[in-house]
Amino acid sequence: MDKKRIIFSVDGTLVQTHREPLQEFLEQEAQGSGKYFKNHFPDILADYETRFLMYNKDQLLWHLNRYSKQKLTPRFLEDLFLFNAKVEPQPTEEIKATLEYLKKKKYELVILTNWFKTPQEEKLRALGIRQYFPEVYSGEDFLKPNPESYHLAMGKHSAKECYIVGNNYELDIKGAAYVGLEGIYLDPTDQHDYKGPKIKKISELTRYL
């Protein structure tokens, strides 16, 4: 069956992520928190995603305060979203060319991300690629690997009519497979022996699409 819709993840797939600026942000904005909170913040977020079906600001703040040695306020989340919306300078020519190619081939391009919608959209705008994605589904709807997240991103199409493209093996490949959604795994360093379509960079999508 011909593919009609391509579902993209964001962080690590379309947007390069950098751990160092996050450490600097936490040192400034969560000064009273312990070392574990500052050094393992991504793990704390991952723990949230295993416990809840979707992201909720109040619920997330409660979760973060379980690990922090101080009482974080809603202002911390506001600052985190502003920080997270920024992207480090990175080359985008190949990504833009690939998305333009897919657009001309009449594929529907959508985003499925586990983070909050607004900062993710700001990242895409900063890179000049937001316009390629008419629909953005986020962790505020459902968190991957909840099956509902993939069904939501597929829209009116069946799993056989869609691909999901991502760099997270558990969420973008393994989780999606449970609903019959085939993944194109972005794996620059060959971390997994995946038998399906596999690429080292986004521009290689043209081999499959």
| Average confidence (pLDDT) over 164-172 | 97
- Same domain (yes/no): 112, 160: yes
**From the CB of residue 55, how many other CB atoms can be counted at a distance below 10 Å?**
21
| Average confidence (pLDDT) over 91-115 | 97
Give the end of a domain, one of 27, 59, 84: 84
Structural domain containing residue 32: 19-84
Alpha-carbon distances of 172 from 30, 33, 87, 100, 108, rounded to whole Å: 31, 32, 22, 22, 18
- Same domain (yes/no): 96, 146: yes
pLDDT at 173 over 90: yes
- Same domain (yes/no): 24, 124: no
| Average confidence (pLDDT) over 131-159 | 98
- Same domain (yes/no): 11, 107: yes
Domain count for the chain, please give it: 2
Mean pLDDT across the chain, nearest whole number? 95
- Same domain (yes/no): 182, 112: yes
pLDDT number for residue 31: 86
- Same domain (yes/no): 62, 141: no
pLDDT number for residue 88: 84
| Average confidence (pLDDT) over 18-32 | 87
| Average confidence (pLDDT) over 16-34 | 87
**From the CB of residue 193, how many other CB atoms can be counted at a distance below 10 Å?**
7
pLDDT at 95 over 80: yes
- Same domain (yes/no): 101, 164: yes
Q: Answer whether 136's CB lies under 8 Å from 113's CB.
A: yes
Which band of pLDDT confidence, cut at 50, 70 and 90, is reported for residue 17? confident
- Same domain (yes/no): 46, 106: no
pLDDT number for residue 70: 85
Give the end of a domain, one of 40, 59, 84: 84
pLDDT number for residue 34: 87
In DSSP notation, 1-67 reads: ----EEEE--BTTTB---HHHHHHHHHHH-TTS-HHHHHSHHHHHHHHHHH-SS--HHHHHHHHHHH
Between 196 and 89, the more confident residue is 196
| Average confidence (pLDDT) over 147-176 | 97
pLDDT number for residue 28: 92
pTM > 0.85: yes or no:
yes
- Same domain (yes/no): 102, 73: no
- Same domain (yes/no): 47, 139: no
pLDDT at 18 over 80: no
pLDDT at 19 over 80: no
Which band of pLDDT confidence, cut at 50, 70 and 90, is reported for residue 169? very high
pLDDT number for residue 187: 96
Give the end of a domain, one of 84, 107, 132: 84
Which single residue is written with the structure tokens 């000064």? Answer: 31
pLDDT number for residue 20: 79
- Same domain (yes/no): 95, 185: yes
pLDDT number for residue 108: 98
Amino acid in the structure at residue 119: P
- Same domain (yes/no): 186, 119: yes
CATH of the domain at 139: 3.40.50.1000
